[in-house]
Structure 1
Amino acid sequence: MNMGKKAVVCNRCNKEITDRNDLMTGNVKMTVRPFHEKCFKKRVEEKKERASMFFDAMPFNGRYANIMTVIFLLLFVAFLTFIEVPGIALVLVLIYPIYRFISWIAIELRLPSKS
């Protein structure tokens, strides 16, 4: 356990994840869940084999996720200031940044920082 913080446990193998280098967060039934990197990759492969319709092969943490979050937030700002869009479009562009924020607050902060 990390300084009184609740342990981060892999959603697939139920073993504790001890550092951010091995952490990948993903969407499981509309909820952000932690995985070991190898467990996340196995999950993605299984979902591909079963041809599951609704699964997210991209983790919510990492460089790509941060870039996507910035893009969606810039799009949100553009919609608010320059482009008139229906309210639902504003909500839709915030979904990914909200998941990224939840991943960071609820899971990533509980683990030691990457070195």
Structure 2
Amino acid sequence: MSKAVYCEKCSKEIKFRGDLVTATIFFVVVAYHEDCYVKELKGFRGLFLDNQPLNGFSGNFLFVMAVLVGIGFAFGSLKWVSIIAVIPVLYRLFSFYKFERLLEK
């Protein structure tokens, strides 16, 4: 791919998907190296940084659960819950589109 992905903390290029961690800071999706993400959680910005990465096992699990909850409540009487369940799905899709698809596996 043509566009490079840079770490939010150290500003170095992230070259492989295995080294990428995406997270949210005040509703903005940012990319980190795996080591930089851990250091950032311990720092001041850790207060504003979501502790759950958007990619990886926990992000993918949340994505699947949000899709299931959204579909489950879309046909019931609590349709507003399905709208709320779309938020993690959109974050995960945005993370993939903006960062992960640009990197090698």
| TM, length-normalised to structure 1 | 0.83
Q: Distance in 1 between matches of 2:91 and 2:64?
A: 13
**For 1:68, which of 58, 62, 65 is the aligned residue?**
62
Query: What's 2:20 paired with?
Result: 23
Instruction: Give me the CA root mean square deviation.
Output: 1.6
Identity of aligned residues (%): 32
Unpaired runs of at least 5, structure 1: none
Please give the per-residue CA displacement for 1:70-91, whole angstroms capped at 9, x wherever unaligned: 001000000012x31153x222
| TM, length-normalised to structure 2 | 0.91
Query: What's 1:6 paired with?
Result: 3
The 4+ residue runs of structure 1 with deviation greater than 6 A are none
Q: Distance in 2 between matches of 1:24 and 1:37?
A: 6
Which residue identity is paired with 1:17? I
Please give the per-residue CA displacement for 1:2-34, whole angstroms capped at 9, x wherever unaligned: x4x111000111000010111000102211111
Q: How many aligned residue pairs are there?
A: 105
Check conservation: 2:40, 2:46, Cα contact below 8 A.
no
Of structures 1 and 2, the larger Rg is shown by 1
* SS at structure 1 position matched to 2:23: strand
Unpaired runs of at least 5, structure 2: none
Query: What's 1:108 paired with?
Result: 100
